């Protein structure tokens, strides 16, 4: 009896010491990132010295070189480029759009072409507008009403969802599939209410995709303010037609790269832990929150390991994925190569939800691994990170689940993300240095624990 108690006590004591060690280490990591971290300066370089980084653009190519150099300067074990072919879509001249009223007056609308859309040509598109709230309404109207007209999807993000990504997912269907669904009934153009949680003049772009069974029609996003204005004009029947002109086109695919930096593991170098964000961004702004933040936070993870002399047991990789926004070719390539080489990817984390205050992590994978990660919850509470939940991952790392990889994402506060997401307002100034760094520190801490204990 006494023997059992002593064993139990020793065990409990060793657990307590471990937890103490871990919380001390997490504090050390966080203190260093908040004091000496370079994530914010890296972000300034990406936003101000490089700028918008749409796949195939000269800035995307520059971003590859710049982030490669950042990681080389950290003197990590290896930095390399992973080649991939990416779509090369260009916006061309700025879009024009207006309502033409029955009395001959016009009203300028703020629109932006959707990514991967065809352009209208010089003549533009001029037609009547049919407003629908959703696909059900569209299907009910059918060809008889839709043919020869512009379809306007006016589906707002649902403000009652506290996790704004849920609302984005719900509304996103109209941006991605809406144009082809409208073309199915003979529409000649498509206008989509911007996926934005606020009402203002800034249209939000984003990717759309054509269904090859239907004609390709040009598609634009309209600012939320102008979506409301257009809707009112339609209700009052004061409008005659809407005109828009876009000059975008899809060019031939071009060669680009994922950028990868690695600290090699000392005990289990074949077990790979990936942390990443995507290097490409939309072209309307600097891609600061989306996803410059995720990139520089991932580089920061390498920096703090190097700065504190943490020699990981497992291999830690920071990956700047190319082409998340309008093709996902970088993520595809990373997965294909991992699979072809038979690499053992035990854990992958993506940061692609903005550089805001960290609230938690999403985690997906085998039960034991998820339970293990959740058992660390108390270590994160002192930092306001209280929400480790099941269900995690990201667009660039998603396929790794086929290799049995445990997937995760840093989950920041989401209330302001869709104010600026894919709009001209996603600039460096919209990112708080402190929030960006705190999230980076939490990411590094999670990676530290995964490396220490394995999954």
Q: Which residues are part of the catalytic machinery? A: 324
In the complex, the smallest distance separating the C-beta of residue 210 from Zn ion, rounded to whole angstroms, is 21
Characterise 413 by phi-psi region: left (phi > 0), alpha (psi -120 to 50), beta (else): beta
Helix (H, G, I), strand (E, B) or coil at 271: strand
Q: Which is nearer to Zn ion, 54 or 146 (CB)?
A: 54
In the complex, the smallest distance separating the C-beta of residue 107 from Zn ion, rounded to whole angstroms, is 32
Residue 385 C-beta-side C-alpha neighbours within 13 Å: 30
Pairing of β 358-364 and β 406-412: antiparallel
The whole-angstrom separation of Cα 290 and Cα 435 is 15
Is there binding between residue 291 and Zn ion (CB under 5 A)? yes
**Residue of 95, 110, 239, 290 that binds Zn ion (CB under 5 A):** 290
Angle at 453 between CA 447 and CA 455, to 5 degrees: 80
In the complex, the smallest distance separating the C-beta of residue 325 from Zn ion, rounded to whole angstroms, is 6
Is there binding between residue 271 and Zn ion (CB under 5 A)? no
Is there binding between residue 286 and Zn ion (CB under 5 A)? no
Is there binding between residue 350 and Zn ion (CB under 5 A)? no
Is there binding between residue 353 and Zn ion (CB under 5 A)? no
Q: Which is nearer to Zn ion, 67 or 120 (CB)?
A: 67
Give the pair of three-digit tokens for residue 404. 């049995």
In the complex, the smallest distance separating the C-beta of residue 423 from Zn ion, rounded to whole angstroms, is 13
Segment contacting Zn ion by CB under 5 A, of 27-35, 77-85, 244-252, 290-298: 290-298
Q: Which is nearer to Zn ion, 265 or 287 (CB)?
A: 287
Helix (H, G, I), strand (E, B) or coil at 235: helix
Distances (CA, A) of 356 to 42, 223, 399, 413: 16, 24, 26, 6
Is there binding between residue 352 and Zn ion (CB under 5 A)? yes
Segment contacting Zn ion by CB under 5 A, of 62-70, 103-111, 202-210, 285-293: 285-293
Residues 310 and 319 sit within 8 Å (Cβ to Cβ): no
Segment contacting Zn ion by CB under 5 A, of 6-14, 90-98, 239-247, 282-290: 282-290
The whole-angstrom separation of Cα 47 and Cα 180 is 34
Q: Which is nearer to Zn ion, 291 or 419 (CB)?
A: 291
Residues 256 and 301 sit within 8 Å (Cβ to Cβ): no
Rule CB under 5 A: which residues touch Zn ion?
290-291, 352
């Amino acid at each position: 009896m006494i023997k059992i108690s002593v064993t139990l006590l020793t065990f409990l004591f060793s657990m307590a010491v471990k937890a103490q060690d871990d919380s001390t280490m997490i504090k050390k990591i966080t203190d260093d990132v908040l004091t000496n971290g370079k994530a914010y300066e890296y972000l300034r370089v990406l936003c101000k010295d490089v700028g918008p980084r749409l796949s195939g653009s000269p800035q995307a190519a520059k971003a590859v070189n710049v982030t490669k150099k950042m990681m080389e300067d950290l003197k990590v074990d290896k930095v390399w480029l992973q080649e991939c072919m990416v779509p090369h879509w260009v916006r061309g001249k700025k879009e024009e759009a207006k309502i033409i009223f029955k009395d001959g007056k016009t009203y300028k609308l703020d629109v932006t072409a959707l990514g991967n859309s065809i352009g209208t040509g010089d003549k533009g598109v001029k037609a009547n507008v049919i407003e629908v709230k959703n696909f059900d309404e569209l299907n009910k109207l059918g060809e008889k009403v839709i043919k020869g007209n512009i379809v306007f999807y006016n589906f707002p993000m649902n403000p009652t969802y506290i996790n704004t990504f849920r609302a984005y997912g719900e509304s996103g269907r109209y941006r991605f599939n809406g144009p082809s669904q409208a073309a199915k009934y003979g529409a000649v153009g498509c206008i989509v209410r911007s996926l934005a949680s606020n009402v203002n003049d800034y249209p939000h772009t984003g990717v759309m995709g054509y269904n090859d069974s239907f004609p390709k029609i040009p598609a634009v996003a309209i600012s939320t303010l102008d979506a409301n204005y257009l809707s009112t004009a339609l209700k009052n029947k004061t409008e005659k037609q809407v005109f828009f002109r876009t000059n975008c086109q899809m060019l031939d695919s071009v060669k680009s790269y994922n950028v990868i930096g690695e600290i090699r593991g000392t005990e289990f170098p074949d077990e790979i832990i990936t942390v990443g964000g995507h290097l490409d961004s939309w072209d309307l702004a600097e891609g600061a929150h989306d996803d410059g933040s995720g990139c520089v936070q991932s580089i920061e993870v390498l920096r703090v390991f190097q700065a504190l002399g943490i020699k990981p047991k497992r291999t830690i990789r920071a990956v700047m994925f190319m082409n998340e926004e309008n093709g996902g070719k970088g993520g595809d390539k990373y997965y294909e190569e991992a699979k072809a080489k038979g690499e053992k990817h035990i854990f992958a984390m993506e940061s692609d939800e903005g550089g805001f205050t960290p609230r938690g992590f999403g985690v997906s994978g085998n039960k034991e691994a998820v339970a293990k990660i959740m058992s660390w919850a108390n270590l994160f509470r002192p930092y306001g990170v209280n929400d480790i939940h099941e269900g995690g991952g990201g667009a660039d790392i998603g396929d790794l689940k086929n290799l049995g990889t445990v997937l995760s994402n840093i989950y920041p506060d989401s209330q302001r993300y869709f104010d600026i997401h894919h709009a001209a307002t996603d600039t460096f100034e919209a990112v708080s240095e402190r929030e960006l760094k705190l999230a980076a520190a939490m990411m590094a801490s999670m990676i530290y624990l995964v490396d220490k204990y394995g999954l």
